[in-house]
A and B are shown apart, each in its own frame.
Chain A
């Protein structure tokens, strides 16, 4: 007997087919049967989810997640990371290979996939290392990694610094058709910088990373794409200058894609100054010229690449709207409290981002920087396009035959971020205690309801 779920009466937004209409979504045996049209002949024992007044979209895809397993299970596991994902509306997440040991061979890839099969609530697509041991010396066995299920190659956390090696990575990866995902940061410019090189870092007496450290390597990589014909996906772009470089690369017709994180779209360097608000705060940056308080040196705002300036966030939001940026990716980087309960220079880089992503992105919709269908596109069809044609009919879409991955949203509900309630082990977020608008109500993976917002929030 068929197992069916009917999501009724919601505003169905599926950018992959230009769909934005009140209607139903029917999933049978884990596969989308129809989306948008009103379903009058639902199977008899069909489970029904009432989505009246809510927004129904394809399950979100996150191209950039650190699951930490194997090796750093105190920070996150596949089980906790995928639970955090579905709470954030993500039904597919791409796992970065900076595990211990790193995913530079088929065995570790299979280990992660096995863990995902056994304990994962969301689909996990592993990314293989670009170089052996992430050491930046010699290429990883890319073909073997691809065969084991890798969807791209990256040394994320570290750049592929050697230009010659990057050239070879881009060239060799063409045999797999998969992108090289580079964390662009020229080491001799970024040095030991912990924040964006700007007013806040200088004010706080901290070493900064100049925007040029990122732009320098993105510019290099784009020319290497032109040289080799390899596919480049630029991870977490953070500056207006990088956006311009990607825009020009796309105009040249080069196979270059880019992602941006919610925090680089919305938060700025000032967040490191800290806030001392009691109760629920707002998503506005601290005053850059105000005297410091005890809350200063907020390590929760330490992330790599660093939070930049308002000029950058504005440019990135425009780039997201215009499609220069293909995807929103969280760069979910969970850490333990110990990793952050220290000085800024000692603290680990990273923000736990899965569970706040939609609320953050929706703030751009709320203030009119981008419309909701476009934002949804960058969370669904956009990242599917980066993954490639093999994935596009399957995820990030509600076309018939696609996997039954659905996210149900309430863009109008306001909620206060409470990291203590996170599913992720990583409670490290600068927006803890901040009021966000836009809540993930339900998440369905392969027709199975895996997340439902608590009534108190709804």
Chain B
């Protein structure tokens, strides 16, 4: 299809303008993160990252985030594989109702659950624990994961399970030896998305850690912003440190991000 030169030029102008808009804040923060901190002269200040790391205690908050992400991603994936398997390949009474109950979970905002969770877990003495930060996010991710993996398992040819049955496989072996390996791309997509959501989560982590000892990375940055308002260079360096894991993951696994975010939410 031929496109006129004038139109091609206009297309580039539009794309470049919006690409510039998309990149401007990213470049601003990158530039600020290596700019001169308070009381120092210009030039490139790569040591900002090391200073932000110690001053902001990011080693600790990144560690907390890693623990929470590991719990949420592993637990949500294993549990969703089970529920997705049951709802995607088995017939039983109440399957439809249960499916809709899980679907409902994709619409429940954290704002609604976080208040009772905080007060109830406080009564049980469980606030300021990894479980308090992770389990509400596991529940959210199970709603998505069940929906996502049910669709995946359901789309697999039924001959796979029949062949497994002929080989004498039980339900567990058929799942772990056949369905899961054959669903690796869909499972990777889920891992990637759940990791990103957990890493970036703010409200749940904020409410569940009133003591501040288990601050996750985004909370660490929020606290840092509150304490060192005028240290823009260090603040920007901290922000870059926290954004890096998801951005790198995105650049390498772009296909999974895009597929999951488009199909997962679009169905």
Instruction: Report whether chain A binds chain B.
Output: no
What residues of chain A have their CB less than 8 Å away from a CB belonging to chain B? none
